[in-house]
């Protein structure tokens, strides 16, 4: 078997982890609050700047800068909910889309103003792992493992806690939640914080591999949305699987042709599957 | 029974949806340990009455008190904490959650979480069928089993009073009888119950007293025996 193909497949799996994590956050927010945060990946960008400035600028230890990014983006998630989502919750979905779409431009413009359009890198050079003739990026391996741990933690939380059970229930009958003693607004705030926290965790993992700039969200945003829709919006398991399917297409496509073509292939696959299974790969 | 202290009281309560008024000056009392029925035709405001008590609909006039403290202005989730559990019309289970997850949500409030395992075992003893089906999705259960989950879910919050809104609605006649047997068992456990029903004969069989609600106002009130003998009730609601 072709050794470079194996390498591409492994890299695809590793890339899938981070994409799966981002898709989980977006799906969680959609599943619970029924709102699509168009600007979700731009929260990741904010988190990457937090890490960059705390680590490079203020000399914080990297894990501490990462923790600060998670907490900071979680708080930002709560702010997004309180300031932008809560006032338009009852209105037409298009208004919610426009509001969070507006946030995307606001965050990108604000970042350009504050940090300029320079590409910045935290400059951590992690080793490349060699197994035989296969090269694997250690940063990607860490990202994959952490993303997987994050996903499992989220699963356990949703499955085995009162809050998590309420979060799974709320989309099935919003009105009745009050009769269960559940304060809907509180659930929304907690969901926004968790969704933000996952974006912050994503920021930690991406900062190890990529430069941060105000438009870094545009690199991952479309693909994250595509993964969520492919898995069925709000379907967390579907999104998780879709992340790995798409990342494999990108990795293997990239191996046989070029990176640009592989993204084209991924989107062609997406369009075809939307025709065949418009409600998501796991939809019954 | 009437010597027990008043648990729930509504005095001259009016309420509605927007500009539409569904309840006019409704006064009603439930004493601790009592089972009280509210009967009346479709659209009389029975469900509105239940929703007003549990805080889903605000009152526009009058007073609403539980154990001597006003409930006015409290959101629904705070009212559950006071000890009022509501089994909603049409059960309203979470169909894609398991039976046990449905019951777990019933124990969401802090004071109920502390007693979760004991309470769950108690509900399973009350409804052994639910123990057998604990891992099944609630939406796949039969109507009667779903009603057990709905009642069990409400009991998980360890309420002092159970509000039941049309527990027999949409069920086959044989199952309706089973549901009224359930109500008997709930009563036997010492719960205070306020039950809204269209099945007049059967509900009068399980409650101590009842109110007749028509077009948003209380038309009649009395003990079950009195109402069972009442000509208006017999003619209009029991088909005798």
pLDDT grade, residue B1 (50/70/90)?
very low
- Where helices occur in chain B by DSSP H, the ranges are 46-53, 76-82, 99-106, 110-113, 116-126, 128-132, 143-155, 173-188, 200-206, 224-229, 231-237
Res. A1: pLDDT tops 80: no
Report yes or no: A168 at the B interface, CB cutoff 8 Å: yes
Top-confidence residue, A157 or A15: A157
Contact (CB<8Å) B94/A162: no
pLDDT digits (tens, 9 = 90+) for B143-197: 999 999 999 999 999 999 999 999 998 888 888 998 899 888 899 988 999 999 9
| Mean pLDDT on A214-220 | 92
DSSP calls for B172-235: -HHHHHHHHHHHHHHHHTT-EEEEEES-HHHHHHH-SEEEEEETTEEEEEEEHHHHHH-HHHHH
Contacts of A172 in chain B (CB under 8 A): 94-97
Which of A129-133, A168-172, B90-94 is the least confident region?
A129-133
Q: Is residue A281 part of a domain?
A: no
pLDDT digits (tens, 9 = 90+) for B99-111: 999 999 999 999 9
Report yes or no: B108 at the A interface, CB cutoff 8 Å: yes
Beta pairing partners, B161: B84, B192
Which of A21-30, A131-140, A226-235, B86-95 is the least confident region?
A131-140
Contacts of B88 in chain A (CB under 8 A): 176, 179
Distance of residue B103 Cα from the nearest chain A Cα, in angstroms: 10
| pLDDT of A19 | 93
| Mean pLDDT on B124-134 | 95
pTM beyond 0.95: no
Which of A131-135, A254-258, B83-87 is the least confident region?
A131-135
Range ranked top by mean pLDDT from A79-83, A139-143, B172-176: A79-83
Q: What is the interface pTM, i.e. ipTM, of the complex?
A: 0.91
pLDDT digits (tens, 9 = 90+) for B11-37: 999 999 888 889 999 999 999 999 999
Handedness of CA B43, B48, B49, B51 (dihedral sign): positive
| pLDDT of A185 | 95
Contact (CB<8Å) B94/A183: no
pLDDT grade, residue B7 (50/70/90)?
very high
pLDDT grade, residue A134 (50/70/90)?
confident
pLDDT grade, residue B2 (50/70/90)?
very low
Contacts of B157 in chain A (CB under 8 A): 180-181
Q: Is residue A68 part of a domain?
A: yes
pLDDT grade, residue B3 (50/70/90)?
low
3-class secondary structure, B29: strand
Report yes or no: A169 at the B interface, CB cutoff 8 Å: yes
The pLDDT mean for chain A works out to 92
Q: Is residue A116 part of a domain?
A: yes
Q: Is residue A284 part of a domain?
A: no
Res. B239: pLDDT tops 80: no
| pLDDT of B163 | 97
Select the residue of A165, A168, A182 nearest B77 (Cβ to Cβ). A182
DSSP calls for chain A: --HHHHHHHHHHHHHHHHHHHHHHHHHHHHHHH----TTHHHHHHHHHHHHHIIIIIS---HHHHHHHHHHHHHHHHHHIIIIIIGGGTTS-HHHHHHHHHHHHHHHHHHHHHHH-S--B-----PPEEEETTEEEEHHHHHHHHHHHHHHHHHHHHHHHSHHHHHHHHHTT-TGGGGGGT--HHHHHHHHHHHHHHHHHHHHHHHHTTS-B-TTHHHHHHHHHHHHHHHH-TT-HHHHHHHHHHHHHHHHHHHHHS-HHHHHHHHHHHHHHHHHH-TT-TT--
The pLDDT mean for chain B works out to 93
Q: Is residue A79 part of a domain?
A: yes
Q: Is residue A114 part of a domain?
A: yes
Q: Is residue A102 part of a domain?
A: yes
- Looking at the 3D structure of chain A, how many domains does it have? 1
| Mean pLDDT on A223-245 | 91
Distance of residue B22 Cα from the nearest chain A Cα, in angstroms: 19
| Mean pLDDT on B124-128 | 94
Q: Is residue A186 part of a domain?
A: yes
* Interface list for A 183-202 with B (CB within 8 A): 183
| pLDDT of B208 | 95
Contacts of A180 in chain B (CB under 8 A): 77, 80, 105-106, 108, 153, 157
The range of the structural domain enclosing residue A71 comes to 3-276
Question: How many percent of chain A have pLDDT more than 70?
Answer: 99
| Type and span of the H or E element at B162 | strand B161-165
Report yes or no: A166 at the B interface, CB cutoff 8 Å: yes
Contacts of A181 in chain B (CB under 8 A): 77, 80-81, 108-109, 112, 157
| Mean pLDDT on A134-147 | 89
How many other CB atoms are found less than 10 A from the CB of residue B169? 17
pLDDT grade, residue A52 (50/70/90)?
very high
CATH of residue A153 = 1.10.3470
């Amino acid at each position: 078997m072709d050794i470079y193909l194996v390498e591409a497949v492994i890299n695809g799996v590793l890339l899938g982890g981070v994409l799966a994590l981002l898709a989980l956050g977006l799906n969680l927010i959609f599943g619970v609050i029924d709102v699509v945060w168009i600007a979700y990946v731009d929260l990741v960008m904010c988190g990457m700047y937090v890490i960059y400035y705390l680590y490079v600028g203020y000399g914080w230890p990297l894990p501490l800068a990462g923790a600060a990014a998670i907490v900071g983006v979680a708080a930002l998630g709560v702010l997004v909910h309180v300031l932008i989502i809560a006032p338009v919750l009852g209105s037409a979905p298009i208004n919610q889309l426009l509001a969070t779409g507006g946030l995307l431009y606001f965050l990108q413009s604000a970042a350009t103003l504050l940090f300029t359009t320079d590409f910045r890198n935290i400059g951590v050079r992690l080793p490349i792992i060699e197994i035989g003739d296969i090269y694997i990026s250690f940063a990607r391996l860490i990202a994959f493992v952490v993303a997987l741990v994050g996903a499992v933690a989220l699963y356990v939380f949703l499955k085995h806690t009162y809050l998590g059970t309420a979060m799974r229930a709320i989309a099935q009958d919003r009105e009745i939640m009050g009769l269960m003693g559940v304060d809907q607004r509180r659930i929304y705030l907690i969901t926004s914080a968790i969704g933000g926290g996952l974006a912050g965790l994503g920021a930690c993992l991406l900062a190890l591999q990529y430069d941060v700039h105000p438009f870094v969200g545009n690199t991952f945003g479309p693909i994250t949305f595509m993964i969520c829709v492919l898995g069925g919006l709000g379907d967390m398991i579907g999104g998780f699987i879709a992340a790995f399917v798409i990342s494999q297409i990108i990795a293997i496509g990239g191996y046989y042709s070029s990176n640009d073509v592989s993204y084209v292939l991924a989107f062609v696959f997406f369009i075809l599957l939307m025709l065949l299974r418009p409600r998501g790969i796991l939809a019954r | 029974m009437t010597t027990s202290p008043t648990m729930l009281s509504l005095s001259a309560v009016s309420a509605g949806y927007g500009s539409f008024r569904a309840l006019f000056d409704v006064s009603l009392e439930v004493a601790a340990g009592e089972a009280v029925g509210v009967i009346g035709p479709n659209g009389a405001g029975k469900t509105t009455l239940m929703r007003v008590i549990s805080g889903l609909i605000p009152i526009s006039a009058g007073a609403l008190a539980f154990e001597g403290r006003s409930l006015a202005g409290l959101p629904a989730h705070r009212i559950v904490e006071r000890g009022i559990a509501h089994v909603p019309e049409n059960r309203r289970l979470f169909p894609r959650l398991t039976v046990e997850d449905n019951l777990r949500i019933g124990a969401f409030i802090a004071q109920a979480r502390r007693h979760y395992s004991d309470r769950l075992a108690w509900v399973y003893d009350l409804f052994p069928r639910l123990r057998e089906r604990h891992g099944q999705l609630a939406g796949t259960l039969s109507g009667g089993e779903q009603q057990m989950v709905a009642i069990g879910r409400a009991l998980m919050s360890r309420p002092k009073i159970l509000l039941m809104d049309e527990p027999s609605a949409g069920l086959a006649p044989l199952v309706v009888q089973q549901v009224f047997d359930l109500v008997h068992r709930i009563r036997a456990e010492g719960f205070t119950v306020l039950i809204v029903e269209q099945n007049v004969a059967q509900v009068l069989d399980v409650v101590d007293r009842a109110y007749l609600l028509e077009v948003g106002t209380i038309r009649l009130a009395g003990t079950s025996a009195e109402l069972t003998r009442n000509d208006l009730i017999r003619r209009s609601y029991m088909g005798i």
